[in-house]
Homo-oligomer: A and B are copies of this chain.
Amino acid sequence: MTELSTEEKMEDIFSEESVKRAAQARNIGAELSRLNDVRGDVAVLVADMGVVAGEFRQRHPTHFFDLGIAETNTMSVAAGLAAEGLIPFTMLMSCFGMLKCAEQIRTDVASNHLPVRIVARGTGLALGFFGTSHHTVEDIAIARSITNMTVVAPSDFNAFLSLVESTIDLPGPVYFRMSSGAEDASVYDSVPVIERGRFMTVRPGSDVTVIAIGNGVVAALGAAEVLAGEGVSVEVIDAAYLKPVDEQAILRAAEHTGRILTVEEHNVIGGLGTIVAEVLGRHRAPSLLKIFGLPDEDLAVSWPAVLIEHYGLTVTGVLEQLRQLLAEEK
């Protein structure tokens, strides 16, 4: 394992580094500020730690609400704001978002088709230094089981921008599953067009398909590059939409390469792997399938980068999974 410097370790979402990044142009608060300049109906809610809202706080104080360490209230307050015509973005630590507020989200927000946006920062292992309580590895399972919910997983900031803007007028709620990379990785050079319910093919290929979300997309692209050097052609798909899901893209991959690897920072039960397996199963579309994510067991606790290495959600890790999958007999 690579030895990390203190600075690298500290690059979690609360670090000074991150706050500095947040002071720059390309950050969520700035984007939402711009959006509200144009629309006037955007609100931002936080549950303590208002710094995550960046400049929105200062620029739009009448539309910014810190509800303190009270996540369920925050979600229901957002529902009330939405009922009055606002588009509230709740910016929560992901571990206290979907899991802690599942009922408020279902009952107050989703059942009423209200346009609350849930921006869940630090999903997967990104807050893993703090302890098991801070892992967020069940949220996709919950979110997709809730009727009327749109579930998206931006793999970089450009994808996030695209998804915020393309869903802004959607009458129902949207769950943004933010990996740490959603704020600083680089998958798209510019803001892509992501159609509702569509995956994005970020690298064409013909021997094997990786369907990934979040940080997994970058890892997959790296692995694909390595394998390209060995003459293996890897297709990489960014599963930006988890609900509605792109069934056609999955079936196409099954048909096209017949070897699918899914990569996600979520429990292997209930997330992207489950979705892909389910689509294959429902459509009698036999394909080799390897589900790679976090094991359904007590997860380790450490700095995010250490955990990502530990669980192999890296270029090397994905590469190894791909080699295994390529070695399997069709």
Contact = CB atoms under 8 A, between A and B. Distances in A.
A120 to B, nearest CB: 13
Contact of A141 (B99, B145, B298): B145
Interface in A281-318: 281-282, 284-289, 291, 296-299
A277 interface: yes
Nearest to A107: B133
A138 B132 contact: no
Given A99-B102, A103-B96, A111-B298, A284 B278 contact: no
Contacts of A291: 282
A279 B146 CA distance: 22
A286 B284 contact: yes
Contacts of A90: none
Interface string A97-140: 00110110011000100000000000000000000110001100
A147 B297 contact: yes
B138 A106 contact: yes
Contacts of A286: 284-286
A35 interface: no
Contacts of A102: 99-100, 102-103, 138, 142
Chain B CB within 10 A, most for which of A145, A276, A291: A145
B103 A100 contact: yes
Interface stretch (A5-13, A200-208, A266-274): A266-274
A251 to B, nearest CB: 11
State which size class the interface on A falls in: 35 or more
Given A284-B288, A291-B282, A138 B142 contact: yes
A100 B71 CA distance: 13
A107 B127 CA distance: 15
Interface in A231-277: 243, 267, 269-271, 274, 276-277
A155 interface: no
B276 A281 contact: yes
A19 B108 CA distance: 31
Given A100-B103, A142-B138, A144-B141, A281 B270 contact: no
A280 interface: yes
Interface string A62-102: 00000000000000000000000000000000001001101
A101 to B, nearest CB: 8
Nearest to A277: B281
A284 B274 contact: no
A27 interface: no
Contact of A282 (B146, B277, B285): B277
A206 to B, nearest CB: 20
Interface of A: 96, 99-100, 102-103, 106-107, 111, 132-133, 137-138, 141-142, 144-148, 243, 267, 269-271, 274, 276-282, 284-289, 291, 296-299
Q: Enumerate the 5 nearest inter-chain pairs by beta-carbon distance, A residue then B residue, closest first.
A: A277-B281, A281-B281, A145-B270, A141-B145, A280-B281
9 contacts: A100-B103, A102-B102, A141-B141, A142-B145, A144-B270, A147-B267, A147-B296, A282-B291, A284-B286
